[in-house]
A and B are shown apart, each in its own frame.
Chain A
């Protein structure tokens, strides 16, 4: 696509980046695009911190006796989990790409509550400071799940401080979700009906529902945990009549739907990438759209599959197991529809599409192994083994991080107004894919053979697989550093991007310049066609008169 680059110009027209340069214009901004960039940089920082913990873990696991002490290793995997889950994965795509794109995609000038949007970033930073403070002042060793009664009674690490960090960061997530829900309901441009919304927006609407419905429960659970740790009243302590499984119920009521917070936005990105680089409309738009909502809703009915061996009633376990199979259906619908979209499409292999291919394969493996774990009888064998670790890393890293990187590359021209070096980007995508599989596929085998998670040492027969995994992790690490370098370079020195370098559909490409001006559009758009209308055909059915209007009055 090198022919479409414009000649470099000396001065770009006024946009959200060059409108002001002072630090105040960033720290007090209410522009959703600038807030998205604030998130981008802070999330990248947290990703590197969480990644550093992962590197330390893999170094430790390269030899059967371990390098660090057991206590240190406990802290390493705990801090890796907490930073990656609460400070990277949960905010990653929604707070960066969602924040940047949702108003543009629906034809609005900003989110509904710009100041709350900025507030959510500050809250995130405060929560992050708590978590980092805890991490660098001795750490915490409960595992990211904070299971009681270990966390309330026995652990002598920074449990309360870390829980505070997660509690505070939760409010950031709630406010982001609240903002998205109201924005998507009330700020759509004339003609932007629900069934014309880009699927990215649908996915974020579903994510936002989980954020506002689930996050408060973990907030109050962590409050109870902290109070219990101070007072020792015994609410989660079996020694004095409390029930530790209650903590697990409350924790997973949020944390299971939260794994959908960590994958649904990635699925939204996927729908954009697959359609654009197949030059085809999405196969079965309404199925993909409503499967997002179905995942969000059904996702609240399955948390008990984390408690199969915890002492939960086996009848409840059976019900949770069956419901867990049901939640696989909408996920499968999405995978089928993306493949069907690619079928007979004219596919081009640009970098974002490479990540999309990676996503489909890896997410399928992650999702199918999830079904294995949802089967109660198998889970008794596989619980708390590396099989679980491999499963959720295939979904979280193989799914979400792939989608995140794919999305960052796809919208990089829009965000920065520059193009990145395609060859380096393709190379990095390949390195990430190879490194990822080498890291995590051996972990399926390890888990199947019985290697438990959260152990700093292991019998020698596991060493070959562990060394493979550690080697893969170093490749994966390189794969993450390369984009960091060339994207930083391209941001300053890359060739100027045209408005629509991929010839893609969607308001952000068709109506907004690269980079967009502060209020996104020079003239407010009016939407007259369905999403992904790559064939250029008119809509099959005329929308109802009421639907035509959107919620915004023209």
Chain B
């Protein structure tokens, strides 16, 4: 209730940045950068998400606890994806059949 009220200008500037980033990511997707296409697109997406979380969802001025829970979600999703990929990426590293005979 005693919460700090964010001025409209902040919201609008964040919005402008979000739109600019959207335009950038669409533009970059038309240039062939090889694997960097993926990296650039995901970096921009992460920046956009962080902007929304910090400003629109008021995590910037929220308690440490809220920040912890917001971060935990992404951390746990990373666990899910990284450990699942650890299986897929390491399948068939060594041609075992030839190795031990």
- Looking at the assembled complex, report how far the CB atom of A303 sits from the nearest CB atom of chain B, in whole angstroms: 8
User: Given contacts A300-B79, A301-B79, is CB(A313)–CB(B87) below 8 Å?
Assistant: yes
- Contacting pair B84 A249 (CB below 8 A): yes
Interface residues of B in 36-80 (CB under 8 A from A): 65, 72, 76, 79-80
- Contacting pair A316 B90 (CB below 8 A): yes
Select from chain B the residue with minimum beta-carbon distance to A551: B65
Give B2-32 as 1s and 0s: 1 = Cβ < 8 Å from A's Cβ atoms.
Answer: 0000000000000000000000000000000
> Among B72, B84, B87, which residue has the most Cβ atoms of chain A within 10 A?
B87
In the complex, A309 has a CB within 8 A of chain B: no
Give A305-349 as 1s and 0s: 1 = Cβ < 8 Å from B's Cβ atoms.
Answer: 001000011111001100000000000000000000000000000
User: Given contacts A313-B90, A315-B93, is CB(A304)–CB(B83) below 8 Å?
Assistant: yes
- Contacting pair B84 A246 (CB below 8 A): yes
Select from chain B the residue with minimum beta-carbon distance to A319: B86
User: Given contacts A300-B79, A313-B93, is CB(A185)–CB(B65) below 8 Å?
Assistant: yes
A300 to B88, CA, bound (A): 18
User: Given contacts A185-B65, A213-B72, is CB(A316)–CB(B87) below 8 Å?
Assistant: yes
Q: Which of A213, A250, A313 contacts B91 (CB 8 A)?
A: A313
Q: Which of A213, A245, A316 contacts B76 (CB 8 A)?
A: A213
Which chain B residues border A246 with CB–CB below 8 Å?
84
Give A281-305 as 1s and 0s: 1 = Cβ < 8 Å from B's Cβ atoms.
Answer: 0000000000000000000110110
In the complex, A456 has a CB within 8 A of chain B: no
Q: Which of A185, A300, A301, A312 contacts B87 (CB 8 A)?
A: A312
- Looking at the assembled complex, report how far the CB atom of A210 sits from the nearest CB atom of chain B, in whole angstroms: 10
Select from chain B the residue with minimum beta-carbon distance to A213: B76
Which chain B residues border A253 with CB–CB below 8 Å?
80, 84
Which chain A residues border B93 with CB–CB below 8 Å?
313, 315
A250 to B96, CA, bound (A): 27
Main secondary structure of the interface of A (DSSP, over half): helix
- Looking at the assembled complex, report how far the CB atom of A220 sits from the nearest CB atom of chain B, in whole angstroms: 11
- Contacting pair A315 B90 (CB below 8 A): yes
Q: Which of B80, B83, B87 contacts A217 (CB 8 A)?
A: B80
Select from chain A the residue with minimum beta-carbon distance to B85: A316
Which chain B residues border A319 with CB–CB below 8 Å?
86
Which chain B residues border A249 with CB–CB below 8 Å?
84, 87
Select from chain A the residue with minimum beta-carbon distance to B96: A314
Main secondary structure of the interface of B (DSSP, over half): helix
A337 to B80, CA, bound (A): 32
Which chain B residues border A304 with CB–CB below 8 Å?
83, 87
Select from chain A the residue with minimum beta-carbon distance to B93: A315
Select from chain B the residue with minimum beta-carbon distance to A181: B69
A245 to B80, CA, bound (A): 14
- Contacting pair A301 B83 (CB below 8 A): yes
Which chain A residues border B91 with CB–CB below 8 Å?
312-313
- Looking at the assembled complex, report how far the CB atom of A45 sits from the nearest CB atom of chain B, in whole angstroms: 34
A245 to B83, CA, bound (A): 13
Which chain B residues border A316 with CB–CB below 8 Å?
83, 86-87, 90
Give A182-213 as 1s and 0s: 1 = Cβ < 8 Å from B's Cβ atoms.
Answer: 00010000000000000000000000000001
Which chain A residues border B87 with CB–CB below 8 Å?
245, 249, 304, 307, 312-313, 316
- Looking at the assembled complex, report how far the CB atom of B13 sits from the nearest CB atom of chain A, in whole angstroms: 33
Which chain A residues border B90 with CB–CB below 8 Å?
313, 315-316
- Looking at the assembled complex, report how far the CB atom of B74 sits from the nearest CB atom of chain A, in whole angstroms: 12
Which chain B residues border A245 with CB–CB below 8 Å?
87
Select from chain A the residue with minimum beta-carbon distance to B91: A313
- Looking at the assembled complex, report how far the CB atom of A66 sits from the nearest CB atom of chain B, in whole angstroms: 37
Which chain B residues border A312 with CB–CB below 8 Å?
87, 91
A307 to B89, CA, bound (A): 16
A213 to B88, CA, bound (A): 23
Which chain A residues border B96 with CB–CB below 8 Å?
314
- Looking at the assembled complex, report how far the CB atom of A297 sits from the nearest CB atom of chain B, in whole angstroms: 9
- Looking at the assembled complex, report how far the CB atom of A118 sits from the nearest CB atom of chain B, in whole angstroms: 24
A307 to B83, CA, bound (A): 13
- Looking at the assembled complex, report how far the CB atom of B50 sits from the nearest CB atom of chain A, in whole angstroms: 21
Which chain A residues border B83 with CB–CB below 8 Å?
301, 303-304, 316, 320
Which chain A residues border B65 with CB–CB below 8 Å?
185
A313 to B91, CA, bound (A): 5
Which chain B residues border A213 with CB–CB below 8 Å?
72, 76
A245 to B87, CA, bound (A): 10
Interface residues of A in 415-464 (CB under 8 A from B): none
Select from chain A the residue with minimum beta-carbon distance to B80: A253
A185 to B68, CA, bound (A): 13
- Looking at the assembled complex, report how far the CB atom of B89 sits from the nearest CB atom of chain A, in whole angstroms: 8
CB-defined A-B contacts under 8 Å, sample of 27? A185-B65, A213-B76, A217-B80, A245-B87, A246-B84, A249-B87, A250-B84, A253-B84, A301-B79, A304-B87, A307-B87, A312-B91, A313-B88, A313-B89, A313-B90, A313-B91, A313-B92, A313-B93, A315-B86, A315-B90, A315-B93, A316-B83, A316-B86, A316-B87, A316-B90, A319-B86, A320-B83
Q: A300-B79, A301-B83, A316-B90 are in contact. List 17 more A-B contacts (CB 8 A).
A: A185-B65, A213-B72, A213-B76, A217-B80, A245-B87, A249-B87, A301-B79, A303-B83, A304-B83, A304-B87, A312-B87, A312-B91, A313-B92, A313-B93, A314-B96, A315-B86, A319-B86
Interface positions of B (Cβ within 8 A of A) = 65, 72, 76, 79-80, 83-84, 86-93, 96
Interface positions of A (Cβ within 8 A of B) = 185, 213, 217, 245-246, 249-250, 253, 300-301, 303-304, 307, 312-316, 319-320
Nearest 10 pairs of A and B residues by beta carbon: A316-B87, A315-B90, A313-B91, A313-B90, A316-B86, A249-B84, A313-B87, A312-B87, A213-B76, A253-B80
